[in-house]
Structure 1
Amino acid sequence: MPIPAPNLYPAFNIVRLSHVELVVSDLAKSRAFYVDTLGLQVTDEDRETIYLRAMEERGHHCLVLRRGDTPCARDLGFKVYDEDHLEKAAQFFTEKSLPVEWVDRPFQSRTFRTRDPHGIPLEFYARMDRLAPIHQQYALYKGVKPLRIDHFNVFSPNVDESVAFYNDLGFRVTEYTEDEASGRLWAAWTHRKGGVHDIAFTNGTGPRLHHTAFWVPTPLNIIDLLDLMSTTGWVDNIERGPGRHGISNAFFLYIRDPDGHRIEIYCSDYQTVDPDLEPIKWDLKDPQRQTLWGAPAPRSWFEEGSLFEGQAPVPAQLDAQPIIAP
């Protein structure tokens, strides 16, 4: 199926991705991972919840950790331009016969929850509490020195349908993988903020959250994190990398938190601001698609992901697979 023409004038204006909420089984272990090891900053916490932000962010949080018996992913959060666009967003989802539930969210203005056609839980708001800047408080920089949340990647049972729906929301495709035998999309990277992606879709049993990515200053920060994790009891949580993606050109590392939620540490992709930028096509069997240096990803990277709360995944409709490491 062809990539849809970009919708440059959507019904409402999404600024960027904002935050994700993860349910975790042990807040203390998760705090040790995300705060003491990765270096995210605590902005509020109690016995049930921890709110975190990265060093360049002025919004109150980019990651919410909530204690629960069954680890899973909850809402993927997006910021819209203003309250008027929030109302337009709610109207859009209502007209698509998708649920709209207005909810109270600490540290956020009016917020509604919904789901996309495949059941991915989404959250939209216009304003979040602003905090004082800390990007020049270098004494606070620890771990991998995370600067900001960068993107989500989700397993989709039908990537063509996901791309078509998010195109209606104004997300533009930057790169994509096509299965030559069927002509269907196997994966696609789509953005709002002018990077390679705010949300990407990977063919697989879904919907499930594949990973959440954080942007760091340089590849050397990733090397520092690997040294830290390998000597502080986290070596088994290193899943894939370091390496450089063919798609996005970014330097990457994939790690798993104590509950198995996948986190990507990410830097060095490219700018995609121009509205007429043509998407880059990749063949599914190209070994440099996954890693520019040719190393294939492990099987876990294609098969494992975090369930979304209250949503049963279904098998992928496209039966195609890239090269997998033995």
Structure 2
Amino acid sequence: MPIPAPVLTPPFNILRLSHVEFGVTDLAASRKFYTDILGLQVTDEDADTVYMRAMEERGHHCLILKKKPEAGIDYLSYKVFSEEELDKAAAYFEGMGKPVSWVERPYQGRTMRTEDCFGAPMEFYFKMDRLAPIHQKYELYRGVKPLRIDHFNCFVPNVDTAVEWYGKLGFRVTEYTEDAETGNLWAAWTHRKGGVHDIAFTNGTGPRLHHTAFWVPTPLNIIDLLDLMATTGYVGNIERGPGRHGISNAFFLYILDPDGHQIEIYCSDYQTVDPDHEAIKWDLKDPQRQTLWGSPAPRSWFEHGSVFTGVDTRPADLKASPIIAP
């Protein structure tokens, strides 16, 4: 099935993904994992919440940890181009019949909350408190030395529906996987910021968040992280990798936080700024699609995801399967 033509003049202008709020059951354990192991910087905290940013980010936070009775994902957030774009966004979603509300978020200006085509919560804002740069404060670098949040990947019950719906918001497809037997999409990578993706969609029970990715300078950062995890009690949290993806060409590692939220450490992808950039097609059965080199993904990687708080899931419409490690 052909992917839709890109919408270059969307109803409102999304700049990029911004941040995610994780519900965690043990705030202290999660804080330790994200600061001492990953190397994110705490920008504020209280008894129930920790705000963090990566080393190159000037915005107040890219990750929020919120103490909850059960682990889950509260929302995915995106930054828009201006205050006016927020009002355009609200009008657009109201016109679709989606719920629209204005919510108070610390360190942010006006923030609009709605949901996507599968009911997954999403938020939009323009203003966030700006912090002093720390990218040259090398005494702060630790863990895997994350520079910035890079993308989300979500399980969805129908990837074709996701690509069409997000495409109308201006998300452009960079690479995609097609099931040869049905012609349907099994996965797709879409972007706003000019990388391979801000949000990707994978066929599966959803909506659920498959992983959140952080960008690091080199593959050596990933090797250093593996050494650190293997000697500090986190070797069991290593889920997949290291290796290199066929799709995106990125060097990768997947790890699990104390609540099982999956994190990808990611580098070496490419730019997709040109509006006429042509999407790359992959066949579902191509063994180098998911792993250009390295061990094939384990079954758990295709099944494990984090639920969105209060959102029902449903099985995938497409029953096709990729290559899975024995």
Q: Give me the whole-angstrom Cα distance separating, in 2, the residues matched to 1:294 and 1:147.
A: 24
CA distance in 2: counterparts of 1:295 and 1:263, whole angstroms: 18
Pairing 1:307-322 to 2, within 5 Å after superposition:
307-322=307-322
Within-5 A mapping of 1:1-326: 1-293=1-293, 295-326=295-326
How many Å apart are 1:312 and its aligned residue?
Answer: 1.1
Report the TM-score, using the length of structure 2 for normalisation: 0.99
Deviation at 1:294, TM superposition (A): 5.7
Question: What secondary structure is seen at the aligned counterpart in 2 of 1:21?
Answer: strand
Deviations 1:94-129 (A, max 9, x none): 111111011000000000111011011100001100
Counterpart contact for 2:244–2:294, Cα < 8 Å: no
Deviation string 1:116-171 (CA, Å, 9 cap, x unpaired) is: 11011100001100000000000000000000000000000000000000000000
Distance 1:54 1:132 in 2: 12
For the residue of structure 1 that corresponds to 2:255, the secondary structure is: strand
Which one-letter code corresponds to 1:38 in the other structure?
L
SS of 1:153's partner is strand
Inter-partner Cα distance in structure 1 for 2:10 and 2:131: 30
Gaps of 5+ in 2: none
- Give the Cα–Cα distance (whole angstroms) in 2 for the partners of residues 90 and 309 of structure 1: 22
Question: Deviation of residue 63 (structure 1)?
Answer: 0.1
| 8 A Cα contact 2:262 2:305, kept in partner | yes
CA distance in structure 1 between the aligned counterparts of 2:129 and 2:253, rounded to whole angstroms: 31
The one-letter amino acid of 2:303's match is E
Aligned-residue identity in percent: 74
Amino acid at match of 1:268: S
Amino acid at match of 1:195: G
Amino acid at match of 1:132: A
The separation in 1 between residues aligned to 2:128 and 2:251, in whole angstroms, is 30
CA distance in structure 2 between the partners assigned to 1:313 and 1:224 by the alignment: 37
CA displacement, residues 172-196 of structure 1 (integer Å, 9 cap, x when unaligned): 0000000000000000000000000
- TM-score by structure 1 length? 0.99
**Amino acid corresponding to residue 125 of structure 1 in structure 2:** Y
Query: Residue 98 of structure 2: SS of its match in structure 1?
Result: coil
Letter in 2 for 1:297: A
Alpha-carbon separation, structure 1, partners of 2:250 and 2:220: 13
Preserved CA contact (<8 Å) 1:287 1:294: no
Q: What is the CA distance between 1:295 and its match in structure 2?
A: 2.9
Residue pair 1:288, 1:294 contacting (<8 A) in 2 also: no
Match for 1:100: what amino acid?
V
Once residues 82 and 109 of structure 1 are traced to their aligned partners in structure 2, the CA distance between those partners, rounded to angstroms, is 11
1:271-298 CA-partner distances (Å, limit 9, x unpaired): 0000001000000000000110163100
CA distance in 1, matches of 2:47, 2:243: 37
Aligned amino acid, residue 194 of structure 2: G
Superposed CA offset, 1:66-114 (max 9, x none): 0001000111000000110010011111111111011000000000111
What SS is found at the alignment partner of 1:301?
A: helix
Contact in 1 for aligned 2:242/2:294 (Cα 8 Å): no
Structure 1: gaps spanning 5 or more residues: none
Distance in 1, matches of 2:235 and 2:295, equals 20
Q: Give, in whole Å, the separation in 2 of the partners of 1:312 and 1:191.
A: 26
Question: Which amino acid counterpart does residue 69 of structure 1 have in structure 2?
Answer: P
CA distance in 2, matches of 1:253, 1:91: 40
Amino acid paired to 1:216: V
Give the CA RMSD over aligned residues. Answer: 0.5
CA distance in 2, matches of 1:189, 1:151: 10
